[in-house]
Amino acid sequence: MNSKKYHQLLSILVIVAAIYFSFNLLLPKPIIETNLPTDKLSINNALTHLKEITKKPHFTGSKEHEVVKNYLVDELKKLGLEVEIQEQIAVNKKWRAATNTQNILAKIKGTGTGKAVMLLSHYDSNPHSSLGASDAGSGVVVILEGIRAFLAKNTFPKNDIIIGFTDAEELGLLGANAFVNHHPWAKDVKLVLNFEARGSGGPSYLLLETNGGNKNLIEAFQKTNTTHPVGNSLMYSIYKMLPNDTDLTVFREQGDIEGFNFAFIGDHFDYHTSQDSFERMDLNSLQHQAMYLEATLNYFANSELSNLKANEDDVYFNFPYVGLVHYPFVWVTPMYLISVVVFVILLLVGFFKNRLTTIGVLKGFIPFILSLVISGLFTYLGWKLLLKIHPQYHDILHGFTYNGYYYIAMFVAFTLAISYWFYKGFLKKRTAQDLLIAPLFFWLIVNFGISFYLKGAGFFILPVFITLTILSILLFSNSTKNNLWVCTFLVVPILIIFTPLIQMFPVGLGLKMLVISEVFTVLLLGLLIPIIQQYKNYKKWKQLFLFIGCLLLVTASLKATYNEDRKQPNSILYVIDVNKNEAYWASYNTKLDAFTQQFLGDHPTKGSYDKNTTASKYKTNIQLHTKTQIRNFKKPLISIVSDTIVNDTRKVCLSLVTQRNANKFEILTHTPIKFKSFKVNDEALKNKPTNGYVLNISKGTIMSYYITKESELIDLEFIVDKDQQFDIDVLEAKYDLLTNSQFKFKPRSKSMIPTPFVLNDATVIKMNLKF
């Protein structure tokens, strides 16, 4: 092997290693627990708890929910803690939900002035079939085991430590709402450490919740010496795009309390399903959560908590073995302007020295723009085509399929093949510096938007500075002998920081966002042009990546079918419309399968049985229905207790009670309603009025109330304008379809699961009220 080939091979290995370690170093490896000291958090102990509390679904109001609650109370008492159950009605405006919550609370008293750090996670699982191992059993057991290890040190903390296992998070952050608005301990909480999950694996990301700046929180977090911090200031912007909140959101919005979210989002296909089980829990992810908890608890239990608020924000990102790199937001625009000035100077110098040519620079835009546009269109249309080929993907409501990782890799491979196709002639005829101007120019455009509109992504300026350095070398160096090595090592930090984002976008936002990954791939590839041009066999890489893409497509296609490891989600409801005296089978699925067909028949009607029905948080409505015979169910008792008009306001009091131990009432309106006041069991909806109204609903769900007690009475009080009229539907739902003796059917096969995020496996009684 000659010297040039040897250097080329080593350069390729360095780049491949950088990409590999950019993912590999995100997660800690599980610790082998041999002779582990008692004051160290044990994953094995945490797993023992996790297995115990995830045997069955334990959503709020279920019998198993009570079992899990009692288990956690007993375990906390075994640690010598005094445990309190906070029982409180809570109402949430955003999610329009209410229930009687039961928070599990305990406190380790500190030696200081009473300021407290709160360890937070929720112990309810999502209704009605999720086992809740990752979301959020993982957080509960890490806290439980972390407290055991902390107490084993036999030292007294300076600050109070409050342990909070909240209830009804999955219903609308209701347990957090109850604590923040009603519990006396809430006023002492100065910092919350919240442990969450939105999948069953992957690295745990650090997300901040603050009403002010994050500067002091970041600086304090750095002092915890967490060994594997993962996160960046862009992620909170992405997090806010999702139809998701956490309990910590309530602490920030309603209590002005700072906090850290630690959450993993990988293997998103398990989220809220019966596959969110003990067996599918990624131990590396659990270890990552444990590392966060141990480091942050040990530090914040004894640090000053009164100085965490700040007015300034920091840009931050993680780097292996360094931790979080951060700098002020106010640097973002000056850094951008400096990069623009340096870019212009280098252009002028390059043209003056004849190291850049006008025709070469202009032609350099051709392959870059074509790569960007064609790969973007290919990915967008390709995903649309895949949805046509595999319509079952529509039934995975959160948008990340079981073979989603293969699709991400496949479209990246095809993007690289497309890019090499367009670059192949230009790499031979044009200089590296000419070809580098186009991607650098586009990176500057991206950073222009960031510097003025999205400063959290301010670290995107780093590739610009590194690429400007590479451009300087190309313009001022008279020898290309060592350029390959210099350029290779300069791009390593870019690859380590930014390559994981290619995967993170579609994992966090769904495969519909694959285009972002492909655009990002082209942007990164453009910065590697000075290296690629020096490779001898770059012309063959188009075929290589095309082959890899086809191989991944075949693999993804083979994994597109359902089996016992990749279960098919489906849904079915039995609905009685009392006013119409009709009954229906209904499903949120777009296609029939062996399970739903036995209810819906061979030719169901497309669409919903009614325009005014409950939808998922992903706006999914009922897709199929068919009429059926009416079964005998005890109807709920609904009465208008009072309806009075005083001056210009109308006050209406309704009473609802189930006669069949149902799980949920949902109230929907056909017409717009503006509420001046809204109370559920005398608990007022806490919201600042807008133009005199606390709640303004045009159509759809007014409120969902989740029943937790037998024969529970729900009293609703509405104050509206005197001319306001009501045309509402009351839906009473019970998750008893699979166990109800009035129905005979074959159960789901082992390769099927109930669809999450929607009302499912339920019998529903619908009644219309006009008054």
DSSP string, 224-244: TT-SS---BTTHHHHHHHSS-
pLDDT confidence of residue 345: 97
Terminus-to-terminus CA distance in the chain, angstroms?
88
pLDDT confidence of residue 30: 76
Average pLDDT over residues 207-227: 92
Mean pLDDT, the chain, rounded, equals 93
Average pLDDT over residues 630-658: 95
Q: How far is CA 193 from CA 40, 122, 162, 301, 592, in A?
A: 19, 12, 10, 11, 44
Residue 494: pLDDT over 90: yes
Residue 644: pLDDT over 80: yes
pLDDT confidence of residue 534: 85
Residue 2: pLDDT over 70: no
Ranges 37-41, 208-212, 476-480: which has the least confidence: 476-480
CB atoms within 10 A of CB 684: 12
pLDDT confidence tier of residue 34, bands split at 50, 70 and 90: confident
Query: What is the full DSSP assignment across 612-675?
Result: S----TT-----EEEEEPPP--PPPEEEEEEEEEETTEEEEEEEEE-SS--SEEEEEESS-EEE
118: left (phi over 0), alpha (psi -120 to 50) or beta: beta
Q: How far apart are CA 235 and CA 244, in angstroms?
A: 13
Name every residue whose Cβ is closer than 8 Å to that of residue 482 and which is 6 or more positions away in sequence.
Answer: none
Domain ranges of the chain: 3-23+330-558, 57-319, 565-771
Burial of 58 (0-12, 13-18, 19+ CB in 10 A): buried
Residue 616: pLDDT over 80: no
Q: Residue 170 in contact with residue 97, Cβ under 8 Å?
A: no
Query: In CATH, what number does 57-319 get?
Result: 3.40.630.10
CA atoms within 13 A on the CB side of 515: 13
Nearest to 104 by CA among 129, 74, 78, 145: 74
pLDDT in tens, 98-126: 999 999 999 999 999 989 999 999 999 99
Average pLDDT over residues 196-214: 92
Q: Residue 508 in contact with residue 525, Cβ under 8 Å?
A: no
Residues linked to residue 189 through DSSP beta bridges, in sequence order: 116
Q: Which residues of 555-584 are buried (b: 16+ CB within 10 A; e: fewer)?
A: ebeebbebeeeebbbbbbbbbbbbeeebbb
Nearest to 141 by CA among 221, 225, 84, 197: 197
692: left (phi over 0), alpha (psi -120 to 50) or beta: left
pLDDT confidence of residue 481: 61
pTM score, two decimals? Answer: 0.93
- 19 backbone dihedrals φ, ψ, rounded to 5°: -65, -45
DSSP run (H or E) holding 87 = strand 83-92
319: left (phi over 0), alpha (psi -120 to 50) or beta: beta
Residue 152: pLDDT over 90: yes
- 592 backbone dihedrals φ, ψ, rounded to 5°: -75, 155
pLDDT confidence of residue 36: 86
pLDDT confidence of residue 212: 87
Nearest to 749 by CA among 566, 589, 626: 566
173: left (phi over 0), alpha (psi -120 to 50) or beta: left
Q: Which residue has the higher pLDDT, 33 or 230?
A: 230
Q: SS3 for 127?
A: coil
Alpha helices (H) along 131-193: 139-151, 169-172, 174-182
pLDDT in tens, 51-62: 999 999 999 999
Residues linked to residue 191 through DSSP beta bridges, in sequence order: 117, 258
pLDDT confidence of residue 770: 93
Burial of 512 (0-12, 13-18, 19+ CB in 10 A): middle
pLDDT confidence of residue 252: 94
Nearest to 60 by CA among 130, 112, 1, 110: 130
Q: SS3 for 176?
A: helix
> Per 3-state DSSP, what percentage of the chain is helix, strand, and coil (rounded to 5)?
45, 25, 35
Residues linked to residue 166 through DSSP beta bridges, in sequence order: 122
Name every residue whose Cβ is closer than 8 Å to that of residue 210 and which is 6 or more positions away in sequence.
Answer: 217, 252, 258, 259, 309, 310
Average pLDDT over residues 539-550: 91
Q: How far apart are CA 483 and CA 477, in angstroms?
A: 9
Q: Residue 92 in contact with residue 99, Cβ under 8 Å?
A: no
pLDDT in tens, 381-394: 999 999 999 999 99
CA atoms within 13 A on the CB side of 399: 19
Residue 243: pLDDT over 60: yes
The CA-based angle 453-458-462, given to 5 degrees, is: 145
pLDDT confidence of residue 5: 73
Give percent of the chain above pLDDT 90: 85
Helix axes 43-53, 139-151, angle to 10 degrees: 140
Helix axes 174-182, 247-255, angle to 10 degrees: 30
- For the chain, what is the radius of gyration of the CA atoms? 29
**Token digits of residue 129:** 């079939």
Name every residue whose Cβ is closer than 8 Å to that of residue 240 and which is 6 or more positions away in sequence.
Answer: none
pLDDT in tens, 72-103: 999 999 999 999 999 999 999 888 899 999 99
Q: How far apart are CA 266 and CA 201, in angstroms?
A: 5
Nearest to 92 by CA among 613, 619, 666, 684: 684
Average pLDDT over residues 251-263: 95
pLDDT confidence tier of residue 516, bands split at 50, 70 and 90: very high
CA atoms within 13 A on the CB side of 106: 20
Query: What is the full DSSP assignment across 557-591?
Result: HHTSS--SSSPEEE--EEEEETTTTEEEEEES-SS
Average pLDDT over residues 444-473: 95
pLDDT confidence of residue 538: 66
CA atoms within 13 A on the CB side of 112: 18
Q: Residue 260 in contact with residue 289, Cβ under 8 Å?
A: no
pLDDT confidence tier of residue 24, bands split at 50, 70 and 90: very high
Average pLDDT over residues 477-489: 79
pLDDT in tens, 455-468: 999 999 999 999 99
Residue 501: pLDDT over 90: yes
Q: Which residue has the higher pLDDT, 648 or 5?
A: 648
